[in-house]
């Protein structure tokens, strides 16, 4: 349901401060507890989850590369972020069905926080079903946990592990389907357990 902003205009909730505060808390939870899935359906109206992530995280001080052209021109003024070449961007938005063809910022030993955050649009996130089954271990995971992802080129997972192999260098990833989000910080070890051609539906 559209809500009114302070000027009385009707806007999508993802652009309102109270919604963004709630979504930011959710983002911090999924990044601190890898394997947790949060569902943002009640906040999204007709917006994709990746746009809500960007609306929550971005401001005029950061840069964004929309590698796959997922954003419309009307999104950019609301996001406020500067358009950037992918190699210099603070945030990178990608369609995960297409393999990566770039090297993001990995940070430096003295400033690991200068690394990029990747938002990867997948078709489905699920605890049980999906064409790639992953095992997650590391900080924030109680022992180990499994998650299934559909609509992602395996090259993303292989490349992500390579980019994060020299901690504290690396990238943080946020995976999104239509309504759910999953955090994969650079501290998480991601192991591919199974790849299923049928999407894991049988």
CATH at 173: 3.40.50.11310
Instruction: Decide if 133 is inside a domain.
Output: no
Domain enclosing residue 103, as ranges:
8-123+154-188
Instruction: Decide if 53 is inside a domain.
Output: yes
Report the DSSP beta bridge partners of residue 137: 189
Instruction: Decide if 79 is inside a domain.
Output: yes
Instruction: Decide if 146 is inside a domain.
Output: no
**How would you write the pLDDT of the chain (202 residues) with one tens digit per residue?**
445 554 456 789 999 999 999 999 999 999 999 999 999 999 999 899 999 999 999 999 999 999 999 999 999 999 999 999 999 999 999 999 999 999 999 999 999 999 999 999 999 999 999 999 999 999 999 999 999 999 999 999 999 999 999 999 999 999 999 999 999 999 999 999 999 875 444 3
Domain count, the chain: 1
User: Both tokens of residue 155?
Assistant: 């090259």
pTM over 0.85: yes
Instruction: Decide if 142 is inside a domain.
Output: no
Instruction: Decide if 87 is inside a domain.
Output: yes
Query: Does the N-terminal peptide bond of residue 86 adopt cis geometry, omega within 30 degrees of 0?
Result: no
User: Both tokens of residue 32?
Assistant: 């601190």
Contact assessment for residue 3 and residue 16, using Cβ atoms and an 8 Å cutoff? yes
What is each CA distance from 177 to 67, 89, 119, 167, 192, in whole angstroms? Answer: 17, 22, 11, 28, 19
pLDDT computed for residue 8 by the predictor = 54
Find the distance separating the first CA and the last CA of the chain, reported in whole Å. Answer: 36
């Amino acid at each position: 349901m559209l809500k009114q902003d302070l000027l009385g205009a009707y806007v999508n909730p993802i652009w309102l401060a109270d919604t963004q505060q709630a979504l930011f808390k959710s983002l911090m939870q999924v990044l601190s507890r890898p394997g947790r899935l949060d569902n943002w359906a009640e906040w999204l109206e007709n917006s994709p989850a990746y746009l809500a992530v960007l609306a929550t995280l971005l401001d005029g001080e950061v840069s964004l590369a929309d590698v796959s052209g997922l954003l419309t021109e009307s999104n950019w003024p609301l996001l406020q972020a500067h358009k950037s070449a992918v190699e210099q961007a603070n945030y990178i938005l990608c369609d995960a069905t297409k393999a990566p063809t770039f090297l993001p910022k990995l940070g430096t030993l003295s400033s690991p926080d200068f690394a990029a955050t990747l938002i990867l649009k997948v078709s489905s996130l699920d605890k049980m079903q999906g064409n790639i089954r992953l095992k997650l271990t590391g900080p924030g995971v109680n022992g180990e946990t499994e998650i299934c992802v559909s609509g992602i080129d395996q090259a993303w997972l292989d490349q992500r592990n390579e980019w994060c192999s020299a901690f504290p260098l690396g990238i943080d990833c946020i995976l999104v389907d239509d309504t759910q989000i999953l955090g994969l910080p650079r501290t998480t070890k991601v192991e591919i357990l199974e790849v299923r051609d049928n999407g894991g539906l049988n």
